[in-house]
Structure 1
């Protein structure tokens, strides 16, 4: 019997039904919903650690990694984020070499001039300026 069924059958609140459900689980030595969730998280965490080399591999595309691991692209992107967080890894800075090569222009030209010169959108230029600032802070 599910939590919702208990709630509807006995016409009780969700919290009372939840407590009754947990008591029944303990009585019959079954895992509680909280314990099941904890097990699920532990399995997910272990899977991430087992596949960290593949997931964090920057030499192949997310699409290829997803295909290898039988996951969706979105799941691999999320897995990378979670792994980096778990392992305290800072994400690589995209186009860092390009930013360093064009650092002088980025510091001297206006956003509009940069847009015209490099055929970038305003958002891209502002992002590059922000990332360049972070790069410079990390170098000092």
Structure 2
């Protein structure tokens, strides 16, 4: 059995409202035709990339019925799901992102509230 980059990513579990994003290669040229050095590209406040993994969402607190011990404890945690899906192109604030290196690839771990907007191609999910 061969180990591929995709199979290694399947082992990653993203927690809570966080999203794992693979950055899109930055454009070296502006719309007016100026070439940007890498140091300028890295200082951009907004970044974009493709959503690789999505956490389960925002946890909903369990009701506390301490007076009814006979009911037992329900262990299943319920979540409010996130809006983003795997494969979306996300535009996010770099200030709210944590840069990660995994298997010599660069990723960003971003909370959903740092994502400004997404572009979704519904044909990817058919």
- Smaller-chain TM-score range? under 0.3
TM-score relative to the length of structure 1: 0.18
Instruction: Please say which structure displays the higher CA radius of gyration.
Output: 1
More helix by share: 1
More strand by share: 2
Q: Which structure exhibits the higher relative contact order, with contacts defined as CA atoms closer than 8 Å and separated by 6 or more residues?
A: 2
